[in-house]
Amino acid sequence: MSKPFYVTTPIYYVNDRPHIGHTYTTVLADVVARFHRMRGEEVYFLTGTDEHGQKVEKAAAARGITPKQLADEVVANYTDLWQRMGMTHFRLIRTTDQDHKEQVQRLFQRLLDKGDIYKATYKGLYSVSDEAYVTEMQAKELQAQGLAHQLVELEEETYFFRLSAYQDRLLAYFEAHPGFVQPDFRFNEVKRFVEGGLQDLSISRTSISWGIPVPGDEKHVIYVWFDALLNYLSACPANCWPPDLQLVGKDILRFHAVYWPAFLMSAGMFLPETILAHGWWLMGDDKMSKSKGNVVRPDTLLRFGNDALRFFFMREMQVGHDRGFSFEGFMDRLNADLANGLGNLASRTLSMIQRYRGGLVPIPALPDEQDQEMATRLLEVFPEYLEKARANDFHAALDALWSYLRALDGYIVKAEPWKLAKDPANDPKLDAVLANLYRALRATALLVAPVMPALAQSLWESLGHADQVAARTFHGFALDGPAIGPIGESKPLFQRIDKEKEMSELEAAEAPIETKATLDVPEIRETVDAESFFKVDLRVGRILEAERVPKSDKLIKMKVDLGIEQRTIVGGIGKAYEPDQLLNRLVVVVANLAPRKLMGIESHGMLLAASDNASKPYLVAPPDDAQPGFLVK
């Protein structure tokens, strides 16, 4: 029996509910899994949760519950979400599962017996927030960032893994396997890191009790990353090893591309085929974080449908790169590609086949040059899509397919089937056009099935099929084969989103639910030099007029006097302030910020505000005797 295609996601920490970052990775893995099934392969898709460590221990203690109780609570969010989203993983492994704990202890013992794990005393610096030993170089970096308070002096007994012994072997392996880490620029970072020298890695802690005990030396628990990485092994059935594709975010690549292969080499096991590091979903240019209150939860987006979210993720994110998320961008993409693009093409095509041919798909007898060109493009785009998807580049695959769909729109406009239908002499041309459109949609349903399972099935049925499109395989699919029967009932594929209406509802849905009693003080940002800071023109302004932006409960449009000119500024302060409260107020304005449009209104400048955990704004106020136009510096 051939080996199943084995794909994994990272296992998620249980200190937070899933957000769109976690959802993205799992969707990508599910799309890959479904794609490989439609290539006729057996697939084993694994996801899970990472439950041990100090953070979980502390969070549970703060709530007066056990770490396991906390983990059970959070894991329920994951299982529920993945189930609602129809994820096709075989198992959600938890690091608290008994078989995993045994596996970790077995492997620890094996490497200990081999001499690759040894006990010694560590004396040096320790970062409390990273739960990791810190080299002198790293300590200097932290000090430069003003984070010295995170460091403590430590002397303790610990088990080390002999990572330094694997430096050359890893480099040789990298050399021999140029596709081991993708994309290339990330692989280069990994290589540079290893070339820079590897130190032995501490893989046990005595300061923590919530973890898997070191066999025979129970006051030590096994370091979370040693524990976590082995999940891929614990959950792997006998015929599955090694993983074909391991999806990870860029932040955890080093663990997967350096430590993990070294552990496996030491255990004498095969290494994964490919580790693919994806970038991050950002909010504007910022990281999503609870303390910034800018975390987007999947449920906020799932009300537009599971397939819509899956499509958006795959279409927008170029794997490897970061991508800024915005609700507007989300809705624009869906309206353009699903409501207009594919949705429109499908409904036009199906209604023309119904109207002009009584629902029977014609067989083209005399295609002209234009028809042939479109037929040829289908023959080209089909393998192109499959090749890109096989390389996990769904962004490029969908891009190629959608540009073909756009070309079909142009083809319809040129051919004007509604005119052709008026004269039976044009029948051969009309037949050719309708057949081409039908075949394009049929191929599209098949190709997008891994990305949008339900939408693809609905399209497939509208085209007259009774079977499951996902049960088909790409291989041997007859692109120009005749239709199997009359077309089915045409269902709208995707309901156009009323953007303005949804924007205000989305804003409300993202309202501060995560208010905490105490302030989670965000870390100080990166240092900027004085010259860069003084480029920002801060002015005292006075609010002359203020009104709510229609259909938004967050945005307020203001006229602000800056002493030398008056500005229109739209601010997201509507949940904290009523327009009346703002009149005549003195504020601090970022006066040289590039103008931008917010719900159709050009906003020129920004008001400075302090904010709490929940991002509630507190307008910064100059003293009463300051006047509009004063520079703030």
Interacting residues with ligand MSP (CB under 6 A): 10-13, 21-22, 24-25, 50, 228-229, 248-249, 251-252, 280-281, 288
d(CA 342, CA 213): 55
Residue 72 or 416 with smaller CB distance to ligand MSP:
72
Taking the complex as a whole, the smallest distance from the CB of residue 537 to ligand MSP amounts, in Å, to 32
Q: How far is the CB of 400 from ligand MSP (least distance, A)?
A: 24
Cα dihedral 601→602→608→609 (10° resolution): 20
Residue 21 or 343: which CB sits closer to ligand MSP? 21
Which residue lies nearer to ligand MSP by CB, 252 or 479?
252
Residue number with CB closer to ligand MSP (11 or 43): 11
In the complex with ligand MSP, which residue's Cβ is closer, 217 or 316? 316
As measured in angstroms, the least distance from the Cβ of 225 to ligand MSP is 7
Distance CA 173, CA 181 (A): 11
Considering the complex, what minimum distance in angstroms separates the CB of residue 71 from ligand MSP?
A: 12
Closest CB to ligand MSP among 319 and 342?
Answer: 319
CB closest to ligand MSP, residue no:
249
Structure tokens at 24: 């993205």
Rounded to the nearest whole angstrom, what is the least distance from the CB of residue 325 to ligand MSP in the complex?
8
**What tokens appear for 464 in the block?**
């007259």
The pair of three-digit structure tokens given for residue 151, joined into one six-digit string: 């460091």
Q: Please report how close the Cβ of residue 224 comes to ligand MSP at its closest, in angstroms.
A: 8
Residues belonging to the chain = 633
For residue 134, the tally of other CB atoms under 10 A from its CB is 19
Q: Which residues are CB-neighbours of 280 under 8 A, at least 6 positions away? A: 21, 249, 250, 251, 287, 288, 322, 323
- Read off the DSSP letter of residue 535: T
Compare residues 252 and 386 and give the one whose CB is closer to ligand MSP. Answer: 252
For residue 552, give the 3-state DSSP assignment.
Answer: coil
201 beta partners: 161
Kindly tell me which of 286 and 387 has the beta carbon lying closer to ligand MSP. 286
Closest approach of Cβ 289 to ligand MSP, in Å?
Answer: 9
**Least distance (Å) from ligand MSP to the CB of residue 155?**
28
Helix H, strand E, coil C: the string for 496-512 is CCCHHHHHHHHHHHCCC
Q: Which residue has the tokens 């429109």?
A: 344
**Residue 488 corresponds to which amino acid?**
G
Q: How far apart are CA 54 and CA 207, in angstroms?
A: 9
Nearest Cα to 343, choosing from 441, 431, 250? 441
Q: Give Cα 585 to chain centroid, integer Å.
A: 41
DSSP code for 255: I
Token pair listed for 628: 């509009």
